Amino acid sequence: MRLNTLLYGIKMKPSVILFSLFTMLACAESGNKVTIQGTLMWDETHHPIIKECNTNKLFQLGVMAANPYFHLTRKSDDLSQNGKSPVIVTVSGNINPSSNLIINQPNILNISAGDCS
C-alpha cells in the first residue's frame, strides 16, 4: 500500500499525511505545563504524591524512568531521615488533560528537607 493512498483510498501528498500525523501526536502529548512546589508523600503502592503548598491539592506524579525515580526515593529517604521529617520538592511537567491531578513527564527541579511554611 502506498503512503498517498493510506486513508481509505483518498489521494493525498505524503507530506500532508506526515504533517497531519505529527500534529496529532504533538496535540496528544501536549498539556498544561506546570511547576508546583509541595510536600512529598507516598501512597500505599509507593507512588510519589505532591501536596501543593498554597492549595493543599494532591498531585500524583506520572510515570518516571527508573533512574530519576531511584534518585527521588534515595534523596527523599536521606533528607527525611527515613520518613521522620518532611521533604519539599519542586516539580515541572504536563497536567494530564483527562485528570488534573496527574503530572505527566515529571521533572524534579529541586528536593530539600523542610515543609511549606
Q: Residue 94: what pLDDT?
A: 92
Say if residue 20 is in the same domain as residue 36. no
12 shares a domain with 62: no
Encoded amino acid at 64, one letter: M
Question: Which three three-digit cell numbers place residue 75?
Answer: 534523596
Say if pTM beats, i.e. exceeds, 0.95. no
Residues 4 and 37 placed together within one structural domain of the fold: no
Q: What confidence score (pLDDT) does residue 22 get? A: 59
CATH code (residue 52): 2.40.50
pLDDT digits (tens, 9 = 90+) for 81-115: 888 899 999 999 998 777 778 999 999 999 999 98
Q: Rounded to the nearest 5°, which phi and psi values hold at 61?
A: -80, 135
- In this structure, the answer to whether residues 83 and 109 fall within a common structural domain is yes
Candidates 40, 115, 49; CA nearest to 75 is 40
When pLDDT is averaged across residues 22-44 and rounded to a whole number, the result is 76
